[in-house]
Amino acid sequence: MAESCHYHASADASWQCQPCQRKYCSECIPGSRANYQGLGPECPLCRNPVEYIGASNGAKPFWQMGLFYFLYALKPGPLVIMALAAGASLLISGLGLLAIVALVGIVALVSRYNLLVIERLASGQLEAPGISDALDGNSAPLFLKVIAMTLIAGFVGYKLFALGMGVVQVYAFVLLLLAPAAMIVLALEHSLRAAINPLKLLQFTLIIGWPYWLLWLTTTAVSAAPNLFMAIAAEKLPPWSLGPVIAATTTYFYIVTSAMMGYICLSRQQKLGIQADPDDDNLFMEEEAFSRARALADAQILMRESDFQAARQALVDGLRRHPNDEALNERYYRLLLATQDKKALRELGPHLLDKFVQLNRPHKAAELYLATEPVPPITKPEVRHALAQILYQQHKYQPAAQLLNNLHKENYPQLDAAYLLLAQVYIDGLNREDLARKLLQFVRQKFPDSPLRSQVETLRKVLNSSEAAN
């Protein structure tokens, strides 16, 4: 089961910081590696480089991926390798002495490709490598190491004959058991010494645990498939086709077993110490979007860790670059609320609420205004009016009235609309029809040409009807 992000329980972890013992998702560490300078993404807490674990953390268990291995060997890269192996088997018979060279060359290429499959899958790259990836100059050295492994194993077995056939049989069985581990170690480390070190191989099997023995059983069964296939098909195929079919099927099942070996390493990537690079080009963010996302992520994490000073600094840095960003401004305001910084709320609160009104987010401004105790002193009449409008709609009449009171002392061009709203507040929420009449009379006198004149008259009629009814 995939491990979750420490700060977002519903998200799978993609990165981890060993010193802090924290795992992060892509929201905590946004963007791709290309967005970061130097060593790549850093831990928001300790600023040390974090390790990518996204591929292994999201990997399904080895035994649930059966179809994947067989389909993997049918992708373009493996199909080209199979075609080369089949074609070489046809040509070899007519090459004379060059047949040996051609045979060694194609076997070396196939061996290199299969080791590359293990290496790529272990690092989290689920796409099969292309033929050009195998032509990297390592085919001959690695093939020689494979031959050397075989010769060393045979030499040791030869020496053990002196101890009796029983010892040789035990040795042969141990070799069979450790063969997948040896190939995996050679693929990952490119070291002959490591691949023939029994202690290294035993350590590898212990790290993988019981799934290694499942791997051994499945690779043994799959490796026997070409012989079984040829026993069935040999009599039905023309003689000239036997060589290419044997070469192609053997190569196919060889790639299948390599895919199994690589994937089991992926599922134990962290325990094996495999450093993986994320295939995250699609997560790359433009600089503006990235700096905003990083400031938000860092601030959230630091706030969760109660490091409010560092969180505040992260938000201040973000706001310097994105002064009108709604999310950054809101998080900064909520940080002030969380720390109960009354001085900052008194001094900065009105400016931040004004910002939300300018961003056409008066509902957010009203929410934050009500969350502030004591409420910040707002002097701008347009902000007071906008907040009061939302509070009236939310049936919060008392704070709406407080914002609109004495607004005539300000040189506010929309005073007629503001006082019409205040009259509605008095009528609908505070049962002060007397004050409402005075306000409506004030608007009629001071703003005879107001576009709201019809609404004023309608409200006066409602008040008069109510008075007559009483």
C-alpha–C-alpha distance, residues 315 and 332, integer Å: 6
**Which of 326, 269, 327 is closest to 298 using CA atoms?**
327
Count Cβ atoms below 10 Å from residue 234 Cβ, excluding itself.
Answer: 12
Question: For residue 356, what pLDDT is reported?
Answer: 94
Question: For residue 460, what pLDDT is reported?
Answer: 84
305 phi, psi to nearest 5 deg: -90, 5
For the chain, the 3-state helix, strand and coil shares in percent, each to the nearest 5, are 70, 5, 25
C-alpha count within 13 angstroms, C-beta hemisphere, residue 130: 1
Question: For residue 262, what pLDDT is reported?
Answer: 92
C-alpha–C-alpha distance, residues 110 and 168, integer Å: 30
- Beta-strand ranges (E) seen in 63-205 are none
Q: Per CATH, which fold does 287-378 belong to?
A: 1.25.40
Question: For residue 142, what pLDDT is reported?
Answer: 80
Where is 274: in which H helix or E strand?
none
Amino acid at 166: G
Instruction: Give the residues of the chain that fall short of pLDDT 70.
Output: 1, 38, 91-102, 233-235, 237, 240-241, 466-470
- 31 conformational bin, left if phi > 0, alpha if psi -120 to 50, beta if neither: left
C-alpha–C-alpha distance, residues 437 and 466, integer Å: 12
pLDDT in tens, 390-420: 999 999 999 999 999 988 888 889 999 999 9
Question: For residue 52, what pLDDT is reported?
Answer: 87
Residue count (the chain) = 470
Instruction: Map tokens 């099969």 to a residue.
Output: 128
Question: For residue 324, what pLDDT is reported?
Answer: 93
Show the CA angle centred on residue 182, arms to residues 176 and 184, nearest 5°: 120
| Cis peptide upstream of residue 41 (ω within 30 degrees of 0) | no
Question: For residue 168, what pLDDT is reported?
Answer: 85
**Which of 19, 37, 21, 6 is closest to 294 using CA atoms?**
37
DSSP secondary structure string, 323-361? TT-HHHHHHHHHHHHHTT-HHHHHHHHHHHHHHHHHTT-
- Beta-strand ranges (E) seen in 212-337 are none
Question: For residue 275, what pLDDT is reported?
Answer: 74
Question: For residue 305, what pLDDT is reported?
Answer: 92
Q: Can you give the residue ranges of every domain in the chain?
A: 1-53, 63-272, 287-378
Question: For residue 467, what pLDDT is reported?
Answer: 61
Where is 24: in which H helix or E strand?
strand 22-24
Contact 311, 333 (CB under 8 A): no
Question: For residue 396, what pLDDT is reported?
Answer: 94
